[in-house]
Structure 1
C-alpha cells in the first residue's frame, strides 16, 4: 500500500512511496501535503493493477539519452538516417537535448518553431521528427502517449507585421512553385545542352522519372518491347523498366568509419610527402567527417518499380544514342561515371537561366552568350512537367499514377481501376503530338526576327 514520507522542511517536504511491478519501492518527491503524496502513490498502484502504468523515472529520460535508442530501432534508407542526424544535431538536440521526454509538448515545440529563422520546411521536418521520437517513446513505454500526435501545427508562412512601419503594406511571400516547361522550352533546352545532358532533360520531361531512376538506368532495361491486343489487333510499344532492387542511383553522405579515417590520413601523408619531394608547398587538409558515395539501390517505394512507356520519337532518339554509347549506363557522364546531382545541375542552370559571354583569349576558346530559356528549371521540374502534361491531355488517373510511381492507399477507385492498352496509346499519341508541336514552335521562334 502506498504511503507518504516527510523529507526536510521546505515548501514541498512530502514524497510518495509505492510498490513497483518488480517489488521494489518507487519514490516521487515534491508534494506539499501528506494526503497529496498518498493519493499520488495510490494512483500509481491502481495504474499498475490496471496494466496502464508507466514508470515516472523513464518519463524523465532526457531526449538526448533516448535518441540513440530511437535511431537504433529504425530501419530506413541511409539517406534518411543522414537527414535525421542532421536535423538532430543542428536543431533538436541543441533545443531539447537536456529536456525530459515528459516535458516536451505541443506548446514548447510550437514556441521553439516560431523562433527559428531557417526555412519553414526545415522547421516542419524537425517537428515531424520530434513527434516521431515521442511516438517511439510511447511505444517503448517511456510515455503514456505522444502529446504532439494528431495536433495541427501553426502555419509558419504568415506575413511578418512591423508595427514601426508607417507606409506601405505588409509583404506576403508566396511559396516557390516548381517551374515546369512547355514543349518548345523542353526542345530548346535539349538542343542547347546537346549530348547526353540534353537527352536526359528531354527524356525526363516526356517520362517523368525521378533523378535517380533516370541516372541509374541500365541499358538492358532502357528499351523493352511489349505487344498487346488493341481493337483486335497486335499493338507494339516500347518501355523502360525501373528495377525493384537496383532501379535508382543514390547519392548519400556517409560518416567515415575509424578504419576509413586511418586510410585517409595515410593517403594524406603520402600526398604531402610527394609534394615535398617536388619542392611544392602544401598544407595538410582538414580531416573529413563525411564522404559522399554513389550506389545503386531500390527506388523510392514499392510502386516505384514499374515500366514506363516511351513515345515513338523518344524510342528513335534512345536507339540512336544506345548504338553510339559505349557505357553500360546510357545516362552516365561521357566518361562512363555516374552523374553527381550538383555537377549535372551546373550545366542545366546555365542552359535554363542563361549565361554571359566570355571572349576568346589565349588559352581559352571563349563561349557564347545564352539567353534565358526557363529560369529556375530543374530536373524535379521536369518530373512536374510530365505530370502536368498528362493532366492537361486527360490521361487516365490510373495510368498517371503508374507512370509517376505513386502509391494509392485506402482508395476504392484506385483498387478497382486498371490500365488498358487504349489508355497507353492515348498517352503516347498525346506526347508525340506535343513533341511535334514543340519542334514547330521552337523553329518558328528561331526564324522570327530578334526583338519581335
Structure 2
C-alpha cells in the first residue's frame, strides 16, 4: 500500500526545517526496484492519494512507468525508427522533417512534455512564416509526423495517450486563406501549350490534361500498355475503345532520395576526386562540390496504391496522336527524353515554365542566334495542374462519379462507392465529351491566332 514520508530540504550541506512529501508505492510484479518513489508533494495526503492512483492503475493494467514518460524524444525516435518500414522517399521526407524541425526543438525534452497540445501549438506558431523560417505546409507535415511518433509511443506504453491525435493545430499562415489553388487549363490553353512545347513534351502535357495520370504513371508508361483495344456493347452494338493501362507491378516511375551510407559516401568522394583530377590535367578551374547527404534513385515500381492500377479510356483524337508518336519513337517508354533517359519531375518542370509562363525575347547577336519572345499562356501551370484539369473537365461534363474516380485511380470509401459500377454508356459519354472539348479548344485557338 502506498505511503508518504518527509523529505527535508538541505541548504549548504545542512538540513533545514522545511520539507516536502515523497510517495512510495508498490511497483508491478517483476519490476525492479519493487518499490517506486515520486517526490515534491506539498502535503502527506496528496502524496498518498497520488500513490493510491498509481497502484490502482497498475491493477487495471493502465499504468505508465514514470521513467518512460521521462524518455527524451530523440531517444524514442531511434526506437521508433526500428519499428517502421516505408518507401525510401517517405523515409527521406521523414528524415528531413526530423532533422530540420522536430529534433532541434524536442530532441532532449521528455515525451511527457512533447505530448502537450499547448507546447506544440506554441512551437508551430514560432517556426511558421511570417514569424519563423518554415513554410506552414512543411510545419503541418512535421506536426502530422510528430503525432504519428506519439501514437507509436502510446502503443508502446511510453505515454498514456497521444494528445495530438485528432487535434487540428493552426499556426502562422494556416489561419489565413491566401486564396491560392492549383492552376488548371481550358481546352484552348492545353492545345496552345501542346503546340508551343512540341515534340514528346507537348504530347505529355496534352495527354495528362485529358487523362489525368499521375506524374510517375505518365513517365513510367510502357508502350505495351498503350492503346489496348477493348470491345463493349451499347444497345446491342459493338463499342470499340482504346485504353492506357497502369500496370500494378511496374506502372510508375519513382524518384526516391536514398540516404548515403559509408560506402556510398566513399564512392562519391572517389568520383569527385576523379573529376577534379581530370579538370586539373585539362587546365580547367574546378572547386570541390559540397558532400551530398543522399542520392536520387530512379526506378520503375508499383503505382501509389493497389487501387491505382487501372485502365484509362483514351479519346479517339488522342489515340491517333499517341499511335503516330509510338510508331516513330525508338524507345520502350513513350514519354522519356528524346535520348531515352527518364524525365525527372524537376527537369521537366523547368522546361515547362517558359512554355506556360512566357519568356522575354533575346535579340540576335554575334555567336548567338537569338530567340523569340513568348506571351504567357497559363502562368503557374504544372503537371499536377494537368491532373486537376482532367478532373475538373470530367466534373463539368457530368461524368459519373464512379468513372471519374476510376479514371483518376481514386477509391470512394463511402456506401455509394461500394454499390456503383462503371458502364459502357458512361465510358462513351466521357469520350464524346473529351472529343468535343478537343474540337472546341482548337476552334478557340485558331480564332485567337486569326
Correspondence 1:12 to 2:54: no
The answer (yes or no) to whether the contact 1:208–1:387 under 8 Å persists in 2 is yes
The answer (yes or no) to whether the contact 1:3–1:18 under 8 Å persists in 2 is no
Match of 1:111 among 122, 133, 156: 122
Change (3 A) 1:120 1:284: closer
Instruction: Using the TM superposition, give the Cα deviation of residue 211 of structure 1 relative to its aligned residue in structure 2, in angstroms.
Output: 0.8
Partner of 2:443: 440
Mapping of residues 75-224 of structure 1, within 5 Å: 75-104=85-114, 105-115=116-126, 116-117=128-129, 118-154=134-170, 156-157=172-173, 174-224=178-228
Equivalences, count: 434
Distance 2:421 2:269 in 1: 57
Distance 1:81 1:218 in 2: 28
Change (3 A) 1:415 1:92: same
Task: Give SS of 1:4's match.
Answer: strand
The answer (yes or no) to whether the contact 2:241–2:313 under 8 Å persists in 1 is yes
Partner of 2:379: 375
Match of 2:35 among 14, 25, 32: 25
Per-residue deviation, residues 123-173 of structure 1 (Å, max 9, x unmatched): 2111111111111110111111111122232364477xxxxxxxxxxxx76
The answer (yes or no) to whether the contact 2:307–2:411 under 8 Å persists in 1 is yes
Partner of 2:255: 251
The answer (yes or no) to whether the contact 1:255–1:289 under 8 Å persists in 2 is yes
- Normalised by the size of structure 1, how large is the TM-score? 0.92
Correspondence 1:384 to 2:374: no
The answer (yes or no) to whether the contact 2:184–2:388 under 8 Å persists in 1 is yes
Per-residue deviation, residues 294-329 of structure 1 (Å, max 9, x unmatched): 111221122111110000000000000001100111
Mapping of residues 343-362 of structure 1, within 5 Å: 343-362=347-366
Partner of 1:57: 67
Match of 1:43 among 49, 53, 60: 53
* Segment drifting more, 253-262 vs 312-321: 253-262
Change (3 A) 1:351 1:224: same
Task: Give SS of 1:30's match.
Answer: strand
Instruction: Using the TM superposition, give the Cα deviation of residue 233 of structure 1 relative to its aligned residue in structure 2, in angstroms.
Output: 1.6
Per-residue deviation, residues 152-205 of structure 1 (Å, max 9, x unmatched): 32364477xxxxxxxxxxxx7623111111100000000000000000000000
Correspondence 1:226 to 2:237: no
Distance 2:194 2:280 in 1: 47
* Segment drifting more, 32-41 vs 203-212: 32-41
Task: Give SS of 1:73's match.
Answer: coil
Partner of 1:165: none
* Segment drifting more, 46-55 vs 278-287: 278-287
Correspondence 1:276 to 2:280: yes
The answer (yes or no) to whether the contact 2:69–2:111 under 8 Å persists in 1 is yes
The answer (yes or no) to whether the contact 1:18–1:27 under 8 Å persists in 2 is no
The answer (yes or no) to whether the contact 2:25–2:55 under 8 Å persists in 1 is no
* Segment drifting more, 9-18 vs 19-28: 9-18
Match of 2:418 among 408, 412, 415: 415
Instruction: Using the TM superposition, give the Cα deviation of residue 11 of structure 1 relative to its aligned residue in structure 2, in angstroms.
Output: 5.0
Distance 1:333 1:11 in 2: 77
Distance 1:273 1:154 in 2: 53
* Segment drifting more, 129-138 vs 423-432: 129-138
Instruction: Using the TM superposition, give the Cα deviation of residue 261 of structure 1 relative to its aligned residue in structure 2, in angstroms.
Output: 1.0
Correspondence 1:299 to 2:303: yes
- Normalised by the size of structure 2, how large is the TM-score? 0.92
Distance 2:19 2:167 in 1: 36
* Segment drifting more, 411-420 vs 91-100: 91-100
The answer (yes or no) to whether the contact 1:345–1:378 under 8 Å persists in 2 is yes
